[in-house]
Structure 1
Amino acid sequence: MIIKKIFIDANVASHPETERISRQLDLPVEQVDDPVSIYQWINSADDPVSRGKQVLYLTRNKGGFLKSCPGTREYTCCDYQILHIASFCTMDCAYCILQSYFHPPLLQFFVNREELDTELSGLFEKKEISRVGTGEYTDSLIWERWTDLTDYLVTRFALQDKAVLELKTKTVNIERLKALNHRRKTILAWSLNTPVVMQSEERRTASLDARLTAAARCQKWGYPLAFHFDPMIIYNGCETDYRRVVNQLFQRISAENIVWISLGTFRFMPALKPVIAQRFPDSKIAYGEFVTGLDNKMRYFKPLRIALYRQMVGWIRDAAPDVTIYFCMEDNEVWEKSIGWVPVRQGGLGRLLDKSAIKICDLIP
């Protein structure tokens, strides 16, 4: 843990969750009436991203917890719902979009659980399948050491049969999951990459072996699993390395317990490139063969993406012919040339993922 200080929004200073987290961390505390002073202090650093990871701001989520995935119409979206429980991350990855997404970057946790609970009640009352995840703006399991958020969420989702919760992580913070009655309504998901990428572009994350070991333990505890090869980085020899990771995955995990596997190559807004250059001077990931995509993000030249995707799909299919594979934010041409079909012809990607969740997580359609 690198957190050195807690800032508390004065409006939630007496909230039970604020008091409990403060006791758990036992760090210097400063109460603020307005976060502007925190923003200014973070932005004054030579490396605002690093400073933003060293403090925790406890506040209220004023904009609602449930949000639709911020996809773009130019690329196929999975119709995911984001559960916005916190922002930013204590780990540090060169490719992380959050470095340039938040202004300024600040690790913050939302304590107003009573409003979160109300929103979840509304979600569960709907007569439709929902796929919900907490890993869009933060890592889902970095909060385990000082909150009971996961205990609450897993237990809450276990009481209904229409929605599934996906907890995506690069950590191995799984110990408390063992004792929970999850009823297969929570998916434990890991971001995977090659050891080369993990060692050169990720700081303070668990190793590949540690992640797969954690996944195997969660499998033993009855949890459905998911894996995300995203962002895949293209470099000399990457094909051999990614194939080895796929082999390691299926040596440890049974295909029948995998809800889905996503594939996505490195893409970034141009503003991220100077941040990577400053914070990760040895990184070469932003200097590949990129073109500007329809969403104004820099993306690998399409034939390069398709070539790697086709190989990955083949390797996964060899090990698990029936597992659900999807691409994160790619167009119809990439789908057609990489996997041989286009989601719209199958009722849409969201519907396909719903079917997989129904099958593996025992949801009731």
Structure 2
Amino acid sequence: MDTPLFKALPETEKNYLEILDQTYHFSFQEQRLLIEIAADLLQWQKGPLSKWIDEKRATKAQGSRRAKILMKDLQDKIGKERQQPTNYEDFFPETRLPDKYQSILVSTDKLMGRCPCPVEGEKTRCCNLKTLDAVQQCAFGCSYCSIQSFYNSHQIQVVGNLKERMETIELDADTWHIGTGQSSDSLLWGNDFGTLDALCILANRYPDTILELKTKSHRSDWIERQALPKNIVATWSLNAPTIIEKEEHLTASLTNRIQTARKAADKKIPIGFHLHPMVYFEGWQDEYRQVVDLVVNSFAPEELVMFSLGTLTFTKAVLKQLREQHRQSRILDMELTSAAGKYSYPLATKQEMFSFVYSLFPETWKKGSPFFYLCMEDPLLWEPTFKYSYANDRIFEKAMKTAYQGSINRFRKAGNASCPA
């Protein structure tokens, strides 16, 4: 049982697992599964493991059959727990205070990348999003996010010569949509490091290319201090209040995110929303209805460029990282089903959530603006959700590009603006 995950467990759990193994002589795979379950239960505040082990079930069995009986009973209980909507009523994670982050300027050869959709095949509908890593690391503490694991946990790395790079970089011919929120929060830092000034240079050089800023913050000083080119779109990730409170630590509240987006819309800045990642928890229908109602009552559909839906998706590496961090979280208290080489909810659960949320929007919101889409989801979910689908990635990308550029042109006609020189 000498693994990093085992070593990170409390001594009481390690001792219990060792005694259990000495008694039942589990296989290597069974040992590994026991350690993962013990770690999950502690993160969910549903431990210790001993509460879930019923040794009486194995008293009449002999040899290796004892271990298998014990493991089947445990897996059945955990499976039943995962299949149910996550209960947050009795979950109270410890208060997490902001780390003292140090910002440093770095130079990097790698600035551009691509979205995390699978490279080969069409396991998801991919829009050919390119990414630009102007900043690496985030000061928020979303329990499902792996950014903190990829970079130094106390260090915000900012591309120091970003302005010069934006003045000279040559984009590939197929680059029409760039996202800046893959390795950090796009607007948490505002223009503190001059990143918005630099991105304005790129936006003005490539007026047909859309730059998307994605955030969970409510910082708004950047809205007042400078006008942005109309091909820069500010977007907010939204979620149910319970998930924001208990899983998206240190981020702005739902109300504050919407209020900040309203300020941007009042300045005629193109905006959008991502209801992502949706979580299957007790009360999800009522809370996601609250999200949609707030959006519909705060904005006109033509003020939005896009509205996306998506849910929790993890690679094996990210699952391993999240478990080894031992944060208090119930985000992995879910049925982990294989999905395009990753792990997510079963398709039936996703279909229920996506269809429900989309049905909440008035018909006037479904006539071209905003552009609705599923982010990194199975193509089979499109028809049940929207009552339409795209035959392949190329057709989907073309539809999205046409819709986005149509919205941007509408904003330009309403009043163009550019960053000050």
TM beyond 0.5: yes
Residues 313 and 338 in structure 1, CA contact (< 8 A), matched pair in contact too: yes
Partners of 1:91 and 1:258 in 2: how far apart?
A: 25
Partners of 2:392 and 2:98 in 1: how far apart?
A: 47
Residues 13-52 of structure 1 correspond to what in structure 2 (within 5 A)? none
Which residue does 1:152 correspond to in 2?
198
> Does residue 1:309 correspond to 2:358, yes or no?
no
> Does residue 1:196 correspond to 2:245, yes or no?
no
Which residue does 2:135 correspond to in 1?
86
Which residue does 2:159 correspond to in 1?
110
Structure 1 residue runs of 5 or longer lacking an equivalent are: 1-49
> Does residue 1:168 correspond to 2:214, yes or no?
yes
Partners of 2:205 and 2:227 in 1: how far apart?
A: 10
Residues 104 and 158 in structure 2, CA contact (< 8 A), matched pair in contact too: yes
Which residue does 1:336 correspond to in 2?
383
Structure 2 residue runs of 5 or longer lacking an equivalent are: 1-96, 413-421
Residues 143 and 327 in structure 2, CA contact (< 8 A), matched pair in contact too: no
TM-score by length of 2: 0.67
Counterpart residue type for residue 338 of structure 1: T
1:351 to 1:119, Cα distance in 2 relative to 1, 3 A? farther
TM-score by length of 1: 0.77
- Alpha-carbon RMSD across the aligned residues, in angstroms, is 2.7
CA shift for structure 1 position 270: 3.3
Partners of 1:150 and 1:206 in 2: how far apart?
A: 21
Greater Cα shift, 227-236 or 152-161 = 152-161
* Candidates 404, 408, 412, aligned match of 1:357: 404
Q: Which has the higher contact order (CA 8 A, sep 6+)?
A: 2
> Does residue 1:66 correspond to 2:112, yes or no?
yes
Which residue does 2:262 correspond to in 1?
216
CA shift for structure 1 position 294: 2.2
* Candidates 296, 299, 306, aligned match of 1:253: 299
Question: How many positions carry a matched residue from both structures?
Answer: 311
Who wins on radius of gyration, i.e. which is larger? 2
Residues 97 and 268 in structure 1, CA contact (< 8 A), matched pair in contact too: no
Q: Structure 1, residues 37-83: CA drift from partner, whole Å, max 9, x if none?
A: xxxxxxxxxxxxx99873333211122x2222232032111111111
Partners of 1:257 and 1:71 in 2: how far apart?
A: 28
**Higher strand content, 1 or 2:** 1
Residues 226 and 259 in structure 1, CA contact (< 8 A), matched pair in contact too: yes
Partners of 1:275 and 1:105 in 2: how far apart?
A: 17
Residues 154 and 185 in structure 1, CA contact (< 8 A), matched pair in contact too: no
Residues 99 and 139 in structure 2, CA contact (< 8 A), matched pair in contact too: no
1:276 to 1:66, Cα distance in 2 relative to 1, 3 A? closer
Residues 155 and 181 in structure 1, CA contact (< 8 A), matched pair in contact too: no
Counterpart residue type for residue 315 of structure 1: L
1:301 to 1:345, Cα distance in 2 relative to 1, 3 A? closer
> Does residue 1:56 correspond to 2:97, yes or no?
no
Share of identical aligned residues, percent? 24
Partners of 1:279 and 1:127 in 2: how far apart?
A: 41
